[in-house]
Amino acid sequence: MENSVTIRDILASFFRQYKTFRLIFFVAILFGVVSLVISTPLYEASGSLLIKFGADADAKVTETKSGEPLTPSDRREIIQSNIDIIRSHDLLKMVIEKVGIERVYPKLTEKVGKKDSPIEVAIKNLDRNHLSVKSSSQSNIIDVNVMNPNPKVAAELVDAIQNIFITRQLEIFNKPQTIFLQEQVKLAEERLNKSQQKLRDFKSSVGISSIEEEINELLKQKSNAAAVAFQAVDDAQAKLSELKDKEAEMLTTYKASSPAIKALRKSIAEAQRQLDDRKKNLDSSSEESTLSGQNDTINKRISQLEAQRGTYNDLARQVQVDETSYKNYVERSEEARINATLGERKITSVVVVDSPVEPIKPARPRKLLTLIAAIMAGMVLGGIAVFAREIFDERFRTPRQLARSLKLPVLADFPKKDAMVQLFNGIDHLFSTEKQPIIQFVSSYENENVDRLARELSAFAAHKGKKVLLVNTKDMQKNIEKAHSDFITANPESWTIITNSGLLSDDLGQSLAKIAHGTIIIVEAENTRAPVVKEVKRLTTSLGGKVIGAVLTNRKFYIPNWLYKILYKSDK
């Protein structure tokens, strides 16, 4: 059945199912109160631990392996690691054994018996139900809270957790490793010395100190040699030009056969010869070129060095690896030495900030919170119950539901105001062209007010000047046709109303459906189910009858008048 989602229907559903809602609501409240009464009071003791970061803290929790200061993420990881240590199985076991399992959980041994280990059950119960270890993201403080029925035991548990954790923290973070690390330092030093010696031997055999440096130096020499050769050619060319210019100048004064000219020309010939020799040196194809010989020597040396580069790089890389390993072990050995000293002096990066105090008032159960939760649960469960009952209820409650389900007009809604007027006007309008209509009133079951409604309608119609023949198929099963014939003969303009309670089981009523001009289904609100009413409509139609509408009777209005008037400003 389709349900409306208007506010009016929601309010109507609530007030209609008010008893159900109230029952579930008070049951939830009662359950909350009973739980407060029967629950065992738990006292909560608390303490705080500070994880130090800085000059006063352990070296390992102040800097990373690379020596850089810790980032906020690194600090959070350290805080979380310490929280995990506090909640660790072994630490909690030591705590319970120190305080006493019978004091922490009295009669637990008897309850567990041989099925399980009492200490294991106590550890699980403490960790899951009675222990809280937390820290805020912006703080280095770890808060430890423990709940127990005995306030004194609660405080002792927190104190034991703090003391055992500090001891445990020293064992984990400050465990001496000096001897082991010193041995590793010696081994790393031996490996470094061997790799350095191999590199020195290789350099000595090849005759180098560094391949890269020597190759760079050879390339520089090659470049410088070429530059010197080109500069010599330029100098020789400049000298030759200068001598030729001087010759031209002297010829204006001296004769060509003069000794001075002859001496100058001899110098010019020598300068030309030097220029030619230096140009030959620049010719790399000449086997007698000095520059070419130098370049060949340099190129040959570079080739030899390149052939040894792979071996040299491997040896140098091994020296670097061994040197890094040696430095790491030296640093860790120094840390181990410092940590060993801190452990001997009981110095740790954890400090007790807040020692536990025996609580006075119980922390559980929280009475106000429990009552609020019970009230909220009652309201939610009550609302769910109301919704479930409404959504699975197939009975009709409103004319809108009836019209949507049967796809028929609802002619009247009783006991609403003017319902009889609406019914009379509706029938009169439907049969305005029919002078002597036969109207059948039917219902799914007996006792659905069909007869009473027909009588009241007949009286109202008579008051309006209509002649009405009222026929009840239960009381008058013989001579019905003769009575009807006599009536319509005497009353040319009249109504014939046939009432039938329980059409589904009345053969006579079913046989009369085909002679009626129209059938009206009477439905009692919150009584008749939708499938039954649909079956009445289907049966009437299959017998040749015509269903023209429906009437809803005994409708109940659950919204209080004062609220209805406030919301809708009208009477029902």
**Would you state the pLDDT for residue 284?**
46
Q: Does a structural domain hold residue 32?
A: yes
pLDDT of residue 232: 60
- The predicted pLDDT at position 476 comes to 54
**Greatest C-alpha distance within the chain:** 182
Q: State the pLDDT confidence band at 328, using cuts at 50, 70 and 90.
A: confident
**Length of the chain measured in residues:** 572
- What is the arithmetic mean of pLDDT over 238-244? 72
Element (H, E) at 431: none
Vertex 451, ends 446 and 455: CA angle to 5°? 170
> Given pLDDT bands bounded at 50, 70 and 90, which one contains residue 156?
very high
User: Which SS3 state, helix, strand or coil, does residue 467 take?
Assistant: strand
2 inside domain: no
* pLDDT surpassing 80 at residue 243: no
Q: How far is CA 247 from CA 221, 236, 241, 262, in A?
A: 39, 17, 10, 10
- Asked, for residue 11, whether it belongs to a domain, the answer is yes
Do 93 and 158 sit in the same domain of this protein? yes
**144 and 112 belong to one structural domain:** yes
Where is average pLDDT lowest: 84-88, 94-98, 287-291, 467-471? 287-291
- The answer to whether residue 146 is domain-embedded is yes
Q: Are 389 and 504 in contact (CB under 8 A)?
A: no
State yes or no: pLDDT of 488 exceeds 70.
no
Give the residue with greater pLDDT, 102 vs 232: 102
User: In whole angstroms, what is the distance from residue 141 CA to residue 132 CA?
Assistant: 14
Q: Are the beta carbons of 529 and 389 closer than 8 angstroms?
A: no
For residues 514 and 123, give the distance between their C-alpha atoms in angstroms, rounded to a whole number: 83
In angstroms, how far is CA 64 from the centroid of its own chain?
32
Residue 2 has pLDDT above 70, yes or no: no
What's the confidence (pLDDT) of residue 160?
93
pLDDT above 90 covers what percent of the chain?
16
Instruction: Report if residue 1 sits inside a domain.
Output: no
Three-class secondary structure of residue 376 per DSSP: helix
pLDDT, greater one: 47 or 332: 47
pLDDT of 561 over the 80 cut: no
Residue 348 has pLDDT above 70, yes or no: no
Q: How confident is the model at residue 496 (pLDDT cuts 50, 70, 90)?
A: confident
Distance CA 455, CA 374 (A): 53
Q: Given this model, what pLDDT does residue 434 score? A: 82
Q: Are residues 94 and 230 in the same domain?
A: no
Q: Which residues pair with 496 in a beta bridge?
A: 438, 469
Coil, strand or helix at 502: coil
Q: List pLDDT tens digits, range 525-542.
A: 888 888 988 998 998 888
Asked if 184 and 192 count as a contact pair (C-beta separation under 8 A), the reply is no
Co-location of 66 and 114 in the same domain: yes
15-24, 71-80, 222-231, 364-373: the lowest-pLDDT one: 222-231
User: CB neighbours (10 Å) of residue 569?
Assistant: 7
Q: How confident is the model at residue 46 (pLDDT cuts 50, 70, 90)?
A: very high
What's the DSSP call for residue 175? -
Residue 88: inside a domain: yes
Q: Which amino acid is at 232?
A: A
- Is the pLDDT at 11 greater than 70? The verdict is yes
Choose the final residue of a domain: 286, 320, 347.
347
On the question of pLDDT at 318 being above 80, the answer is: yes
Assess whether 560 and 449 both reside in one domain.
yes
Strand pairing class (141-148; 131-134): antiparallel
Count CB neighbours of 545 within 10 A: 22
Residues 184 and 322 in one domain: yes
**Domain of 417, in residue numbers:** 399-568
Q: Is residue 149 part of a domain?
A: yes
Please say whether the beta carbons of 497 and 468 come within 8 A. yes
pLDDT of 144 higher than 50: yes
Q: Work out the average pLDDT over 289-299.
A: 60
Q: Which residues of 48-61 are buried (b: 16+ CB within 10 A; e: fewer)?
A: bbebebeeebbebb
**In the predicted structure, residue 473 carries a pLDDT above the cut 60:** yes
**Eight-state DSSP code of residue 407:** T
Q: How many CB atoms lie within 10 A of CB 197?
A: 11
Residue 235 within a domain:
yes
Q: Are 572 and 432 spatial neighbours (Cβ–Cβ below 8 Å)?
A: no
Predicted pLDDT of residue 61: 46
- Bridge partners of 413, per DSSP, are 552
- Residues 162 and 156: beta-carbon distance below 8 Å: no
Q: Where are the alpha helices (DSSP H) in 392-494?
A: 399-406, 419-430, 450-463, 480-490
Looking at residue 161, its pLDDT comes to 92
For residues 88-101, give the mean pLDDT: 92
| C-alpha–C-alpha distance, residues 570 and 443, integer Å | 31
Q: What pLDDT is recorded for position 124?
A: 92
- 551: its two tokens: 């009437």
Judge whether 226 and 291 are in contact, CB under 8 Å: yes
Q: What is the DSSP letter of 505?
A: G
Q: Are residues 466 and 543 in the same domain?
A: yes
Query: Which of 59-73, 427-441, 484-498 is predicted with the least confidence, judged by mean pLDDT?
Result: 59-73
Q: Which residues of 373-397 are buried (b: 16+ CB within 10 A; e: fewer)?
A: ebeebbeeebeebbeeebeebebbb
- My answer on whether 217 and 192 are in the same domain is no
Residues 487 and 563 in one domain: yes
Tokens of 500: 């039938």
User: Do 190 and 316 fall within a single domain?
Assistant: yes
Mean predicted confidence (pLDDT) in 273-290: 57
**Residue 487 pLDDT class (50, 70, 90 cuts):** low
* Predicted confidence (pLDDT) at residue 193 exceeds the cutoff of 70: yes
Are 16 and 81 in the same domain?
A: no
pLDDT band at 551 (very low <50, low <70, confident <90, very high): very high
pLDDT at 217: 65
pLDDT at 571: 46
Give the pLDDT confidence of 410-461 residue by residue, as tens digits: 999 888 888 899 999 999 888 888 888 889 898 888 777 788 888 899 899 8
CATH code, 464:
3.40.50.300
Q: How many CA atoms lie within 13 A of 335 on its CB side?
A: 20
Reduced to 3 states (helix: H, G, I; strand: E, B; else coil), residue 442 is strand
Long-range Cβ pairs for the range 35-41 (8 Å, 24+): 35/365, 35/370, 36/365, 36/367, 36/370, 36/371, 39/364, 39/365, 40/149, 41/149, 41/362, 41/364, 41/365
pLDDT > 70? residue 371: yes
* Confidence class for position 293, pLDDT limits 50, 70, 90: low
**452 and 529 both lie in a single domain:** yes
> By percentage, how much of the chain surpasses pLDDT 70?
73
* Residues 119 and 135: beta-carbon distance below 8 Å: no
**Phi and psi, residue 77, nearest 5°:** -65, -40
Number of structural domains found in the chain: 5
Strand order in the sheet with 43-51: 131-134, 141-148, 43-51, 350-354
